[in-house]
Chains A and B, each alone.
Chain A
Amino acid sequence: MRDNDAEITPRRLLDECGDAVFGLALRLAGNRPDAEDITQQALVRALRGLSAFRGDCALKTWTYRITVNVWKNWLRDRNRHAELQEWQNPVDSIAMNEPAATTEITDIESAVSKLPAMDRAVLTLREIDDYSYAEIARALEIPEGTVKSRIARARDNLRKLFFTAVREESNDA
């Protein structure tokens, strides 16, 4: 995808990418106040660096990369190294094979909140933006194989969490 057809003004960047940046920041941070903080920083950085955008990928993909980098710096500033490590070494990350926390699962949102940040991010770009695996890999700067395995694992974990909760609820009723 290329974005070199027309001049990209600050307004156009905000119109085309503002919602998406906030959506990704919300999935990464897991709460609204932190997501707002990350979004603001990411948008300021994108707006200031707009002249450096060469159009070799979609504008949204470029702003996603900025958002992930801002989020990583944000984690570093708060000494949240475990989450950063989890992102940088996804293979060694925690596996959620057992749906142990189903008592807290009331809907899909609460099930999603139990997933690691990278799983939430890949699912967002896949389900909300309809990105291909290659596009997700470019946007999040992770290997395409990781995208494939992460999406599979995230959906499987969500399926286990969500449907176990649903079954437990129907048994209780």
Chain B
Amino acid sequence: MTHEEIKNALSAYMDGELESAQKSEIERHLGTCSTCTAELKELRQVASEFKKTGAEKLPPHIRAMALAQSQAAEPKKQTARQSPGAFNLVLVVAAMVILVLIFGMTLKHMMPTLFSSVSGSITGAASTLGASTSN
């Protein structure tokens, strides 16, 4: 490796990310090159300074909000699961309306006099109401 290549590899050497042949070559070079030795020392110092900045702590309010917000998603899923139930309810109501209509039609067919009498009563009541209103 050239001097420049060794300089560029100092960081990976520091991290133990080089193969053993490259590592040995750099170590031999460091034994004779004061520039690279000084640079490696500065790189180590910079890495150490960076480490000192330390790991950050998650602010408690962010933790609480993230947890609450992630749980708030659950009702949405339940709503989605409940939608077939709502559809079923509509079907039940529709079936009941149809049943009432069928019952009414059957009743009219079987007891026409009852319907005539009810119809007459309604018409009579309406006429009476109309007459009293015009007076």
Contacts and interface: CB of A to CB of B under 8 A. Distances in A.
A151 B53 contact: no
Interface stretch (A13-21, A87-95, A96-104): A13-21
Indicate the member of A20, A23, A127, A151 with the most B CB atoms within 10 Å. A127
Interface in A126-155: 126-128, 132-133, 148, 151-152, 155
B70 A152 contact: no
A149 to B, nearest CB: 8
Contacts of A48: 70, 73
A154 B17 CA distance: 16
Interface residues of B, number: 31
25 contacts: A14-B67, A19-B57, A19-B58, A22-B58, A22-B59, A23-B55, A26-B56, A40-B65, A43-B66, A43-B70, A44-B69, A44-B70, A47-B66, A108-B46, A112-B50, A127-B50, A127-B51, A128-B50, A128-B55, A132-B15, A148-B11, A152-B8, A152-B11, A159-B43, A162-B46
Contact of B49 (A21, A44, A148, A162): A162
Given A44-B66, A48-B70, A126 B49 contact: no
B15 A14 contact: no
B109 interface: no
A172 interface: no
Q: Is the interface of A mostly helix, strand, loop or mixed?
A: helix
Interface residues of A, number: 34
